[in-house]
Structure 1
Amino acid sequence: SQLEVAAPAGAASASTTVTGLTNGEPVTFTVVAVNEAGESPKSAQTPAVRPAGLPGAPTAVSATPGSHQAVLTWHAPSSDGGAEIVEYIVTASSSEIPPTRVPATSLAATIRGLMNDDPVCFTVAAVNHVGAGRASEASEMVTPVGPPATAPGAPSSVSASAKDGAALVKWQAPAETGGAVVTGYIVTASPGGATAEINDGPDATEVVVAGLQNGASYTFTVKAVNRAGVSAESTASNNVRPAGPPQPPVAVT
């Protein structure tokens, strides 16, 4: 088909933008000059060019979790925008995972460096020479999981300091996590068995144990918890004796 476009005259060289073309279909151009006497012969024909836009979104993105990784597959977009797709960009829902670039010859990728027990999903965008197209719908949420976990090792370096009717207990996280994230700790006072639980992850390594009797002597042990179970008790802390403020003097003369 032939499309005529009028361009303003008057300059030694001129240009114009031709719209209404179909992306992906090659097109050539000729130019004629026009004055009051008529039209010039056509110019030489330009080399063929192929208009293009951004590619469409990939479809059917699927993720299969492994240990610290996920394997993704997807389908190519129904439209390449009129230009060859040169790569895909895989983006994880976690901002800590950098985007992964995948050659256009592949419709799969293994995304490594994921945190076990941390759910994540993915989107994929196709790229041609114009740029990156719209991202796909997100994959299902998956959770990387390592080999079967065991209970963690016992915490270490347990220490205690006295407070009024309570004690501040501190410890170090276990060196052996059992292959799973430590999710919390259980602190137990002896005697009496008063406990305090904390479920803020492996780095939350201190807690106040309340409900203690001022003047009594206590030690404390700590257990670590992960998804597989509870560790053995730590070695007991030092002895502490909770105490409140002294009573005011009486019968002052």
Structure 2
Amino acid sequence: MTWASEPLKSNGEPVTSYDVLVYRGGSLAKTVSGVQGTQQQVTGLDTSSTYTFALVAHNNVGASPQGARSNPVTPYGRPGAVSNLSAAPANTTGNGGQVQLSFSPATANGDPVSGYQYSIDGGSSWGSLASDKTVSGLQNGTTYSFLVRAVNSAGPGPSSNRASANPYGQPKTPVANAATDGIRVKMTWNTGGYDNGRPSTVSVTIDGNAVANDGAATVGNGPDEAHSITVKACVQGEPTNCSSKSDSARTASPSASLAQGPRVTSDPQCASNACYYFDITARNFHPNASVFVQCWNNAGGDHVFASFHATTDANGYFNQNSGCYLGHNAINPWSAGWATLDDGRGGTARTNNYTW
């Protein structure tokens, strides 16, 4: 409290000291005597009570009458300590990087708590704590030790107990790929590297069936098959906190091409004419299948003029240049030729047209 000094109205004697009278609720609570100067800090007051103050001046002659009472005032101090602080990882099914703090509020000590501060370096520096008590911007997989304190108009209160937490998030998105390779599909994936602050477990399914997590697999055994892969990474102990990646591919469709093969020498009709075998290449049929090949030309209208069977290898492939032939003669004069193929298991194709 402060006050203004006035000269005495009698005999001119200067004031030598003051008594500060402290009233609580209208009753004298205490007296502070022998005060020098014109201000005094009064301690030991109750922050839940309202006080008024009065002065008595002293000089060498004696004491003055008690002065008028001051305006009422309620004292306050820094807030009390935060208690029961605990910390837990937050946003764990997202990107992580957060810790949720929980604690019992500090006592106000006469002035409302205006906010809370936290420290992660033992109290050397402090930051404002969000209203939801979440601390963000943390590094997943790093253990943090937290302190919290309350703040009001008088300043910050004492630190809380320590509480630690290690933030983490959902595992990183897995890597998985499916690529067509003829009548097969090659699956590749990363077997690990998905941890995001906590260890993760990896599971792999191909076409809905669990497979070993060894990074590669080849599936398929014929044309036009659909195959898929899903790689899932889950936080250990949290089977629903997962990230996943899926991919799919189809095996290739059957195809066939026709080119001019070797010249025919065994047919008398070709002795003076250019007869050549059909050179047929087939790809992506069923493996080890007997393929029925029909040879066509358009002399006198589209028609089959010869047929034969050829067997594919383990990759659905064959090449044959001795099954049928065309040439420039009276029967088939330089006519266009082509072939159709059927492996009896759904694999069919037609070659390009070829004229010679």
TM-score (norm 1): 0.50
1:143 counterpart letter in structure 2 = N
Question: Are 2:117 and 2:126, in contact at CA under 8 Å, matched by a contact in 1?
Answer: no
2:84 matched to 1:57? Answer: no
Question: Are 2:52 and 2:73, in contact at CA under 8 Å, matched by a contact in 1?
Answer: yes
The number of aligned residues is 154
Question: Are 1:7 and 1:15, in contact at CA under 8 Å, matched by a contact in 2?
Answer: no
Distance 1:35 1:101, change over 3 A: same
> Match for residue 116 of structure 1?
140
Per the TM alignment, residue 86 of structure 1 is displaced from its structure 2 partner at its CA by 1.2
2:31 matched to 1:4? Answer: yes
Q: 1:89 aligns with which of 105, 111, 117?
A: 117
Q: 2:196 aligns with which of 168, 176, 180?
A: 180
Which secondary structure state, in structure 1, belongs to the residue aligned with residue 159 of structure 2? coil
Q: For 2:175 and 2:120, how far apart are their aligned partners in 1?
A: 29
Distance 1:115 1:39, change over 3 A: same
Gap runs ≥5 in structure 1: 154-175, 182-226, 229-253
The structure, 1 or 2, with the larger RCO (C-alpha pairs under 8 Å, 6+ apart) is 1
Q: For 1:69 and 1:33, how far apart are their aligned partners in 2?
A: 61
Distance 1:17 1:147, change over 3 A: closer
Per the TM alignment, residue 39 of structure 1 is displaced from its structure 2 partner at its CA by 3.4
Question: Are 1:28 and 1:46, in contact at CA under 8 Å, matched by a contact in 2?
Answer: yes
Q: For 2:99 and 2:112, how far apart are their aligned partners in 1?
A: 27
Q: How far does the alpha carbon of each residue in 1:122-172 deviate from its partner, in whole angstroms, 9 at most, with x for none?
A: 111011111111110012x2211111247789xxxxxxxxxxxxxxxxxxx
Select the structure of larger CA radius of gyration.
2
Which secondary structure state, in structure 1, belongs to the residue aligned with residue 116 of structure 2? strand
2:144 matched to 1:128? Answer: no
Distance 1:56 1:98, change over 3 A: closer
Question: Are 1:94 and 1:120, in contact at CA under 8 Å, matched by a contact in 2?
Answer: no
Q: CA RMSD in A?
A: 3.6
TM-score (norm 2): 0.37
Runs of at least 4 residues off by over 6 Å? 150-153
Question: Are 1:91 and 1:124, in contact at CA under 8 Å, matched by a contact in 2?
Answer: yes
Per the TM alignment, residue 37 of structure 1 is displaced from its structure 2 partner at its CA by 4.9
Over the matched positions of the two proteins, sequence identity in percent amounts to 30
1:4 counterpart letter in structure 2 = T
Q: Which structure features the higher share of strand residues?
A: 2
